[in-house]
Chain A
Amino acid sequence: MPNLKDLKTRIDSVKSTQKITSAMKLVAAAKLRRAQEMAEASRPYSTSMNDVIASLAAKSDASSAPALLVGRPEVKTHLLVIVSADKGLCGGFNAFITRAARQVIAEKEAAGQKVLVYIVGRKSADALGSEIADKTFARVEGVQGTNVEFGDAESIAQKMIDGFEAGSFDAVSMLYNKFVSVIKQDVTHQSLIPAEVGEAEDDTADAGAVASYEYEPDEEEILKSLLPRNVATQVFSALLESSASELAARMTAMDNATRNAGDMIDRLTLVYNRTRQANITKELIEIISGAEAL
């Protein structure tokens, strides 16, 4: 029979855990709103940038196009950027990224490529541990949450471009959690070099209008200065998406934890009350049988 005092301590400890998880849920929810706003506010820039690059890319001929746009013909080494969180307690968020990273690394290696990784965020590095010890190209932490700035993305992108130009790797792709909704985040694998250029969304830019553009200084120069900036923009929006996803995942996880703690408290309270009642009954029986024996 469980001891009443032990039960009481357990109930109290679960209650204080529940307080923590419900506070974390509220904090995550408040931050999520900001992160979502930031992700939305960044969209006009990346959309316009994509439109311009798409229209320039459609016109430039493949043989002379910059390597950042079309990539190198032979890929010997691949750089994989893994964006995870710095903190845990957010459900499967980090585990999904880590699993996807393992899979991509295995695929690339099966195709005979060497893989380097660029770790953004602490958790995936912890999880991958020694697997990536000899593959790490660079690491960066503290670029999560609601204080992501474009400067952070810029410095990450700059490091990639420097490495690409120095020939350390021939292609770059990025793994991150894309924010779909509060209960859904998708692990996304996106190519950065060569650039993944979507269709131009701006349908007012029909062929005739594009042809009459004047370029200053010229198309090639613009494309050349635009592509590194595009890499930074992509990294920036991935960081924002990942932050929003992390907070959403944490909110959901903490909501579940709070509910589970509630269930546990109910169950423990039931056991506690039964035990208390049993003890009282036992004492009564002892008194009555004692009295009868007289």
Chain B
Amino acid sequence: MAETTQFELVTPARVLVQQDVEMVTIPGSEGLFGVLPRHAPVLANLKQGRVDIYENGAVTSSFMIDGGLADVTGEKVVILAQRAEDLNKVSAEELSARAANASEAEAAFLSAVSDAIA
């Protein structure tokens, strides 16, 4: 088993993901970056984009986040995102139904999510 790093994706409403991962790619404000175990400590602003979790060299799950902050230490990666969606668990219909009665910022994010799963 390859070396792993602890990964957490936290939104204001709940902890969305908490698992050990091999690698995770994060949409930093200065560009996409990947985090492997023993990464140098970084505190990074994030922009809207995809977070991909890799295991055994392949993407196992993907999330869309709406900006936030990544706190990376050697053994742990914590992403604080205002909004996040699991791209494997939402459907386009569900998203459009939710976007119908959402605030402007939320609706913009949901449409970005539906673009990503399309």
Binding site for B on A (CB under 8 A): 38, 41-42, 44-46, 48-49, 52, 56, 149-155, 204, 209, 212-217, 219, 221-222, 225-226, 229, 232-233, 236
Docked complex Cα distance between A216 and B31 (Å): 10
Known: A45-B80, A217-B30. A209 touches B43 (CB 8 A): no
Contact B11 A45 (CB under 8 A): yes
Contact B44 A49 (CB under 8 A): no
Binding site for A on B (CB under 8 A): 8, 10-15, 28-30, 40-45, 69, 71, 73, 78, 80, 82-83, 102-103, 105-106
The 10 closest A-B pairs by CB, nearest first: A216-B44, A41-B14, A151-B103, A150-B12, A213-B41, A214-B42, A45-B10, A151-B106, A45-B12, A44-B10
Contact B69 A154 (CB under 8 A): no
Contact A222 B43 (CB under 8 A): yes
| Given A45-B13, A209-B73, A217-B29: 10 more A-B contacts, CB < 8 Å | A42-B14, A46-B12, A48-B10, A52-B80, A151-B105, A213-B43, A214-B40, A214-B42, A215-B44, A229-B82
Contact B83 A150 (CB under 8 A): yes
Minimum distance in angstroms from B14 CB to a CB of chain A = 4
Known: A52-B71, A154-B82, A216-B43. A42 touches B12 (CB 8 A): yes
Docked complex Cα distance between A151 and B66 (Å): 12
Minimum distance in angstroms from A99 CB to a CB of chain B = 30
Contact A216 B71 (CB under 8 A): no
Docked complex Cα distance between A229 and B15 (Å): 17
Query: Which residues in A have their C-beta under 8 angstroms from that of B8?
Result: 44
Contact B12 A217 (CB under 8 A): no
Question: Among B43, B45, B73, B102, which residue has its beta carbon within 8 angstroms of that of A151?
Answer: B102
Query: Which residues in B have their C-beta under 8 angstroms from that of A45?
Result: 10-13, 15, 80
Known: A215-B43, A216-B43. A41 touches B69 (CB 8 A): no
Query: Which residues in A have their C-beta under 8 angstroms from that of B29?
Result: 216-217, 221
Docked complex Cα distance between A97 and B79 (Å): 35
Minimum distance in angstroms from A230 CB to a CB of chain B = 10
Query: Which residues in A have their C-beta under 8 angstroms from that of B73?
Result: 204, 209
Query: Which residues in A have their C-beta under 8 angstroms from that of B78?
Result: 48
Minimum distance in angstroms from A86 CB to a CB of chain B = 19
**Closest chain B residue to A40, Cβ basis:** B14
Docked complex Cα distance between A49 and B78 (Å): 10
Contact B83 A225 (CB under 8 A): no
Contact A216 B12 (CB under 8 A): no
Query: Which residues in A have their C-beta under 8 angstroms from that of B10?
Result: 44-45, 48
Contact B45 A150 (CB under 8 A): no
Contact A38 B82 (CB under 8 A): no
**Closest chain B residue to A236, Cβ basis:** B12
Minimum distance in angstroms from A237 CB to a CB of chain B = 8
Minimum distance in angstroms from B115 CB to a CB of chain A = 20
Point out which of B12, B29, B69, B106 has the most chain A C-beta atoms below 10 A from its C-beta. Answer: B12
Query: Which residues in A have their C-beta under 8 angstroms from that of B105?
Result: 151, 154
Docked complex Cα distance between A222 and B71 (Å): 11
Known: A151-B102, A221-B45. A48 touches B71 (CB 8 A): yes
Query: Which residues in A have their C-beta under 8 angstroms from that of B102?
Result: 151
A-B contact pairs, 9 of them (CB 8 A): A45-B10, A45-B80, A48-B10, A52-B71, A52-B80, A149-B13, A150-B11, A153-B12, A154-B103
